[in-house]
Structure 1
């Protein structure tokens, strides 16, 4: 995926989760299935995109991702939530519930 393709996706979708991880990041690999499960259930219209930060250096630099894991949620084409390192899935879910509901009803 190129940066231009990603930006087009962000503009065209209700919401997008960018999940930046790394090949040697154990935390990234442990959190990914948990995020997928919650987003599949709670936010099915948010497109989930998983990127290796090192393999996608141009995209990582554009979104100023300097550590992994980093999760960025875009709603209506704009960055809404950004979490990194010490991520609280519960806190992120709570932040997204109301705006997601308003956007999708």
Structure 2
């Protein structure tokens, strides 16, 4: 399973994105059953991409994330490559499609 880095503020999220060229930010809430169902699948998927770091954000704790990253519902999955957002997925994640996108990006950007 992919290691999680808990991010509790927009500042921590920005630092995480800046410090890791391939960073995946997963935004959820404690009371979101869909969020809890998707997270293990995402961690399993990302285990195949060792250079992608995974950050977990509780939208209730980091309340500014909605306005800073334009997130209106959870779960939200965002992949940043060198600080630029390249993938954004929402509530209903198609993991086959996500894997295809990650394969393409990982092949092009992995160090």
TM-score, scaled relative to structure 2: 0.85
* Structure 2 portions without partners, runs of 5+: 1-7
1:86 correspondence with 2:86: no
Q: For residues 19-34 of structure 1, what are the structure 2 equivalents within 5 Å? A: 19-34=26-41
**Cα distance, 1:31–1:66 mapped onto 2, change above 3 Å:** same
- Runs (4+) off by over 3 Å: none
Which is richer in helix? 1
How big is each residue's C-alpha offset from its partner over 1:9-66, in whole Å with a ceiling of 9 and x where there is no partner? 212212111111111111100110010011012x111110111111111123211111
CA distance in 2, matches of 1:103, 1:59: 26
CA distance in 2, matches of 1:5, 1:51: 10
TM-score, scaled relative to structure 1: 0.89
How big is each residue's C-alpha offset from its partner over 1:56-105, in whole Å with a ceiling of 9 and x where there is no partner? 11123211111011101101110000010111121111112122112225
Per the alignment, residue 55 of structure 1 pairs with 61
- Tell me the C-alpha RMSD between the 2 structures: 1.4
